[in-house]
Amino acid sequence: MPFALKRALLPLALAAAALATSARADTYPSKQITIMPLLAAGTGLDVVVRLYAYQLSQSFGKPVVVENKPGSAGLVGIAALKAAPVDGYTLIVATSAVMAIRPTLLKTTPYDAQKDFIPIALYVKSPFILVVDPKLPIQSVPGLIKYVKERPGQLSYSSSGVGGAPHLSAEYMKQRFGIDLAHVPYRNSPQSIADVAAGHVAMAFAEAGASLPLIRDGKLRALAVTSSTRLPTVPDLPPFGEAVGAPDFETVSWHVLLAPAGTPPEVVGKLHGEMKRIMEAPDMRKKVADVGLIPQNIVPVESQMAYIKAEGEKWGTLVRKLGLEGSQ
């Protein structure tokens, strides 16, 4: 084809491509969207997903179905996502455990957290509450650090299992402040917290939902939350970093809605825009806070990718320091 003809046809080709892109954005969605949380029904993550799934269905005028895919450390849901067409009609909801901890912790990880997904919306943070046995003479985080330093190796903390976010939060604190605490792992969070209340272990980083009833009953003493901002359900409780003058200290789980890599950019943009509108509405922020989570402003996709990468580096480094790389 002569060069002059090619040059003449190029604007037409570009215009056709632009029209095709616009048409695809305008027609999405044309059928049901399926969102697959990687945790079981009834969890805080699941509750929030169902809230915004309803809002999305109202906005799009198409069904948005929530289909829980728990199991195998998130691999069941990830496999289902990989088997689906890359068109924006199948999405997953993952936590920081899947995206930032398990890629280093697992022996084999059949996904790349940085390359295989596009974050549509990282919309909440789920902090832990630092709780201690109320019979101990500890009233603050600085007081806890001082008390432990004066008794190296004599005190212990519990967690819901090796490699979980509560365990790593305690280890992060230990390394950051140079304290010596023994780890007592349990099979689940309620049991680990109950043994703090019973005085069998000194402290734990506990999920808010599991610990708040015991805190309110005086069976646990809460010292701080691990987020950089306050938890709406316990607004008087300081952030850990604020309590010790280390504003960069934060150990939280977070929830993110993900599309598979290769999803058309215009579809990603449409989903991102709707999630931003829905999750930043005052009524939705209140509902999220009532579940014991901290709502987040929905930042651009590139900023979310940078945050997820930084979290992966942070927790991956700690997992390697603890000798847990490839241990599960």
Within 10 A of 19 (CB to CB), how many other CB atoms are there? 10
Predicted structure pTM score: 0.89
Domain co-membership, 134 together with 189: yes
Same domain, 259 and 230: no
Which has the closest alpha carbon to 127: 293, 274, 328, 327? 293
Query: From CA 296, how far away is CA 287, in angstroms rounded?
Result: 13
Q: pLDDT tens, position by position, for the chain (328 residues)?
A: 555 555 555 555 555 544 444 445 679 999 999 999 999 999 999 999 999 999 999 999 999 999 999 999 899 999 999 999 999 999 999 999 999 999 999 999 999 999 999 999 999 999 999 999 999 999 999 999 999 999 999 999 999 999 999 999 999 999 999 999 999 999 888 999 999 999 999 999 999 888 999 999 999 999 999 999 999 999 999 999 999 999 999 999 999 999 999 999 999 999 999 999 999 999 999 999 998 899 999 999 999 999 999 999 999 999 999 999 999 9
257 and 218 in a single domain? The answer is no
Where does a domain end: 218, 244, 270? 244
Say whether both 97 and 51 belong to one domain: yes
Q: Are 134 and 161 contained in the same domain?
A: yes
Per the DSSP assignment, residues forming a β-bridge with 146 are none
Query: Using CA atoms, how far apart are residues 88 and 272, in angstroms rounded to an integer?
Result: 11
Does residue 303 sit in the same domain as residue 217? no
Q: Is 157 helix (H, G, I), strand (E, B) or coil?
A: strand
270 and 285 together in one domain: yes
The CA–CA distances, whole Å, from 193 to 29, 95, 130, 155, 204 equal 44, 21, 11, 15, 7
C-alpha dihedral (254, 257, 263, 267), degrees to nearest 10? -130
Is 3 among the domain residues?
no
Domain annotation covers residue 328: no
The number of domains in the chain is 2
100 and 142 part of one domain: no
- Please identify, among 226, 244, 262, the residue that sits at the C-terminal boundary of a domain: 244
251 with 175: CB under 8 angstroms? no
Q: Where does a domain end: 189, 209, 244?
A: 244
**Within-domain flag for 67:** yes
- Residue 273 maps to which CATH number? 3.40.190.150
Euclidean distance between CA atoms 96 and 85, whole angstroms: 25
Indicate which CATH number applies to the domain containing 199: 3.40.190.10
326 within a domain of the structure (yes/no)? no
Residue 66 within any structural domain of the chain = yes
Asked whether residue 78 falls in the same domain as residue 187, the answer is: no
Beta bridge partners of 117: 260
Nearest-angstrom CA–CA distance, 319 and 302: 26
Residue 52 within a domain: yes
Co-location of 131 and 240 in the same domain: yes
77 inside domain: yes
Tell me how far the alpha carbon of residue 51 is from its chain's centroid. 17
240 and 262 share one domain: no
4 within a domain of the structure (yes/no):
no
Indicate if 33 and 109 belong to the same structural domain: yes
Range of the domain at 82: 10-126+253-321
The pLDDT tens digits of the residues spanning 130-159 come to: 999 999 999 999 999 999 999 999 999 999
